[in-house]
Structure 1
């Protein structure tokens, strides 16, 4: 929800650091955030070729603790979450994480989240900034708080360090061997002799880590990484990077009116290995009958850029809608995501995108647009 003029935008503990670097700021989900420092393209290239960092402290961070194991052997915090997501969280071992989605009864996506199983009945959740309050209210309404303790950690600093040089840059600052963390692995550690949560996750398609610490330690960490040559990056590069890697943006590519099966997120839906959850009946029906639309990748023919909400025209009729689009710095190609009818969602299908009153051809391509060779 946008903040009114009587409610100035929120600022993270790293705001002053961004201002000191002459970052160009923008309003985002009620926060004043850097959209770019040196420029979107050089920041994008830094992530793809070396190492860059983002202040993502605006994101929501929650802790659930329910230590008592139930009759099925699951900690109560995991069992509680099992009812709210389509993914089978019982498969997670301590130190593992799952990207998944919170669903409403229509199987619409309330938010996409990451669930970190820490062991000892403790679970950490990272949620989107713009949906933090909505997510918190949903969780509190659907969790049994007599079994699970909920804590909002959103005042913590969260820094994403991404790129093929990340391990080399971050390792001297932490007391654990980062090479022992696999993709989506996570651990507690010490940074400057203070507690930190470190996860090998990110939103760029590259190898990297997300580090959660108390604000004062976060400022020290930012300064140390900057001094070592890690490139500060803003929301602009974050968007081009995630789109190349075909990572959905909540509010554009997915929303509470799209289901994970429509959005190409069927891999987070584990109907065969878990019991009931909110929205299950809708997904069972969609799985059996098929979905009427799908989120596809488009390569534009030419350098015309398809933007959010541009119509997709098939056989002379508006049949779909673009959700995200950009000029890919890595590929030198205009790319986009769009929902189109399932019968046309096949590789090689040619469609048209209406851009400022004119139709421009685009081809349905395999997702993701870019796959890193550096991922663990």
Structure 2
């Protein structure tokens, strides 16, 4: 397993490490429920250095990305970010991405760790013919996140940047604890928060400064286990669960990120236009099962009237915030209406469940 720049820090903290996309990552430090609740009520500190970063630069960088992705990166303002996807010719999702525009001719594409080796060559191929350069710069960045309602106070105590003015899905360069960083107001937990890009050699110092500044604000280190339950409660899709090569953005309920009106088109546009016209073959829904049994990814969703399999759970877990199990599932489009009664086969036991809107949890503004 590949260690992140914070591996020694995690070991010293007694983290339970696990393999994730080839990386040795902290799954928890103590209680994953305590870490989850800290993010919801105070703040959590995450190592996300396994994520991949790809630079696209040059006079036609925006046009190249417009061709490569389903959205319109050329319309992103400098210092802002946008969620997008890269799809295959048949419309299947290769990966979901966050695109930052760092300067007029400089974009940073953040890919999932498991997909960097696919996304990078695809971007290189799709940028061919444009005056743009594509470079995998993942080794040059460590990524640390502070998530939770107390995160603005923690960050503001350490940086010369104007934290209150930094909008959601915006990024700026500046100093944090005397270290040069890029600070983004983004996250994957459903809470306010920040993601901090720094040089790998500076990662331990950034982590230490955040830990010290966060002591009075209830900040604790948090691992992948609680990150998964946090994003599940917030209805955020995970590649490999809700998103895959076998579905299009329309099956994922994310058709809004697809710009079919781009004059120059993009890879997969014909297939996605057809899918939009035909309608999705399945849709993602929230499910609340009765009782305490928690559905997990891969469990069948059943029609109560016939017992026939009409969908599959993509993610499921007990919800620490809500106090009961929740699940996301792909089901037939005609079964997406909130209030619809379905069933889930949980380790051979049939459990009743109700379709509910996503997300399960929305933070107070």
Supply the distance in 2 between the matched residues of 1:340 and 1:159 (Cα, whole angstroms). 35
Partner residue of 1:6? Answer: none
TM-score (ref. length: structure 1): 0.92
Task: Identify if the C-alpha distance between structure 1 residues 289 and 118 changes in structure 2 by more than 3 Å, giving closer, same or farther.
Answer: same
Contact 2:61 2:130 in 1 (8 A): no
Supply the distance in 2 between the matched residues of 1:27 and 1:89 (Cα, whole angstroms). 33
Structure 1 consecutive aligned stretches of length 4 or more whose deviation exceeds 4 Å: none
Supply the distance in 2 between the matched residues of 1:213 and 1:271 (Cα, whole angstroms). 36
RMSD, aligned CA = 1.3
Supply the distance in 1 between the matched residues of 2:174 and 2:257 (Cα, whole angstroms). 29
Shift of 1:369: 0.6
Partner residue of 2:170? Answer: 185
Partner residue of 1:4? Answer: none
Supply the distance in 1 between the matched residues of 2:151 and 2:34 (Cα, whole angstroms). 17
Alignment of 1:318 with 2:309, yes or no, is yes
Partner residue of 2:104? Answer: 120
2:87 to 103, 114, 134: 103
Contact 1:185 1:200 in 2 (8 A): yes
Supply the distance in 2 between the matched residues of 1:160 and 1:152 (Cα, whole angstroms). 21
Contact 2:55 2:107 in 1 (8 A): yes
Shift of 1:273: 5.5
Supply the distance in 1 between the matched residues of 2:74 and 2:355 (Cα, whole angstroms). 36
Where 2:241 maps in the other structure, the secondary structure is coil
Superposition map of 1:296-315 within 5 A: 296-314=285-303, 315=306
Alignment of 1:338 with 2:323, yes or no, is no
Where 2:274 maps in the other structure, the secondary structure is helix
Alignment of 1:14 with 2:3, yes or no, is no
Deviations 1:277-304 (CA, angstroms, capped at 9, x unpaired): 1111122112222112111111111111
Shift of 1:146: 6.2
Shift of 1:141: 1.9
Alignment of 1:51 with 2:43, yes or no, is yes
Alignment of 1:65 with 2:57, yes or no, is yes
Shift of 1:38: 2.3
Alignment of 1:26 with 2:26, yes or no, is no
Shift of 1:357: 1.3
Partner residue of 2:34? Answer: 42
Where 2:114 maps in the other structure, the secondary structure is coil
Supply the distance in 2 between the matched residues of 1:212 and 1:145 (Cα, whole angstroms). 31
Supply the distance in 2 between the matched residues of 1:31 and 1:325 (Cα, whole angstroms). 24
Superposition map of 1:118-157 within 5 A: 118-144=102-128, 147-155=131-139, 156-157=141-142
Supply the distance in 2 between the matched residues of 1:102 and 1:90 (Cα, whole angstroms). 15
Contact 2:190 2:234 in 1 (8 A): yes
Alignment of 1:233 with 2:222, yes or no, is yes
Alignment of 1:250 with 2:239, yes or no, is yes
Where 1:130 maps in the other structure, the secondary structure is helix
Shift of 1:266: 1.5
Deviations 1:51-70 (CA, angstroms, capped at 9, x unpaired): 1110000110111111x2xx
Alignment of 1:329 with 2:320, yes or no, is yes
Supply the distance in 2 between the matched residues of 1:272 and 1:297 (Cα, whole angstroms). 31
Supply the distance in 1 between the matched residues of 2:29 and 2:170 (Cα, whole angstroms). 30
Partner residue of 1:263? Answer: 252
Count of residue correspondences: 358
Superposition map of 1:74-93 within 5 A: 76-93=60-77
Deviations 1:15-43 (CA, angstroms, capped at 9, x unpaired): 11011010111111111110001211110
Partner residue of 1:195? Answer: 180
Deviations 1:197-240 (CA, angstroms, capped at 9, x unpaired): 11111000110010100112211010111123221000000000
Supply the distance in 2 between the matched residues of 1:30 and 1:39 (Cα, whole angstroms). 24
TM-score (ref. length: structure 2): 0.95
Supply the distance in 2 between the matched residues of 1:352 and 1:309 (Cα, whole angstroms). 14
Supply the distance in 2 between the matched residues of 1:197 and 1:343 (Cα, whole angstroms). 45
Where 2:187 maps in the other structure, the secondary structure is coil
